[in-house]
Amino acid sequence: MEPVTAPLAFLSRLPLYTYQKPYIVIPPKGSGEKPAEQRRLENLEFSQVPVIINDMRMRKESSLSVNGFQKFDHPFGPFDLDEASVLAYRGQTESILREILDAEAYRRNSPLEVLELDVNDPLLVEGPPTGVHDLTYDHAPKILRTLLKEHGKAQYLKPGSRIRVVNTWRPMVSKLEDRPLAFCDFRTVDPNDAIPTDRVYPHRSTELYYFHHNENQRWYWLPGQTPDETLMMLMYDTHPDGGAEYCPHVSFPNPLAAADAPPRESVETRSIVITRASVA
């Protein structure tokens, strides 16, 4: 398929960010009775930039370690929200990641997320971060220390272990048209365009990179993605060895989507994958 052009939301290049760190405060759920503009405190400003987004089906296979994203095919079958389905899905995802990444250990993050979102809803308290984003290199180790049990820390947080934070993402509709994901090839990212940003919740805080636009960036998407096509994104790697360290990504309005295309529904997991440092 020919490339499409669509607007992506990039962090604006404001003089403000030279002396004030970008941030957003997420209010407690249940505060929806207040007007949306009173419930979010932030200094984020985004610019919608038309970007050429290439069909990843038209290129040689992408690599998680080189490009920061990768597709795999697997017929997961119907997915429900009951406990048995969730456990089965986790198990299948674990097995696939073990095989693809040659993992010797695997740690699932918090419960997998199933999202059906109206991205135009101004009262949406929390959803996917707006704008091109990813985990920061400083915050990811905090996630590892939080999620690994004590014996895991002693065993794996040392030289010789390669630890990666990997997300998987796939649609639950038969053919995704509404708000697909776009991924930036890590090799085309200028690290100076990755801006650490605080995302503050009532009882915790996280740090994300938001990205400035750069003409050198090369973007890709998976047209007509089906539930049997899962995308992996690299969030963090302790041993990138000159390869990908993260994967800037964002959803975008698909100019090819039919007017009656079903709203996006998707399922996402985040996992800690541990291999020997010598494994590529």
- The H or E element that residue 205 is part of is strand 205-211
Phi, psi of 9 (to 5 degrees): -90, 115
Give the per-residue pLDDT at 138: 74
Amino acid code (one letter) for 276 = R
Q: How far is CA 127 from the centre of its chain?
A: 12
Give the per-residue pLDDT at 44: 95
Give the per-residue pLDDT at 30: 61
- Rounded to whole angstroms, how far apart are CA atoms 156 and 138? 18
Tokens of 164: 């990666």
Q: Quick check: 114 and 172 in contact, CB under 8 A? A: yes
Q: Is 193 helix (H, G, I), strand (E, B) or coil?
A: helix
Torsion of CA 148, 150, 155, 158, to 10 degrees: 80
Q: Quick check: 206 and 25 in contact, CB under 8 A? A: no
- Rounded to whole angstroms, how far apart are CA atoms 96 and 195? 32
pLDDT by residue (tens digit) across 162-218? 888 899 999 999 999 999 999 999 999 999 999 999 999 888 888 899 999 999 999
- The H or E element that residue 179 is part of is none
Structure letter (DSSP) for residue 171: E
pLDDT by residue (tens digit) across 53-93? 999 999 888 999 999 999 999 988 776 767 787 888 888 88
Q: Quick check: 252 and 89 in contact, CB under 8 A? A: no
Residue range 106-118: mean pLDDT, rounded: 45
pLDDT band at residue 280 using 50, 70 and 90 as cut-offs:
very low
Q: Which residues, 6 or more positions from 270, have their beta carbon under 8 angstroms from its beta carbon?
A: 108, 109, 110, 165, 166, 167, 235
Q: Quick check: 79 and 41 in contact, CB under 8 A? A: no
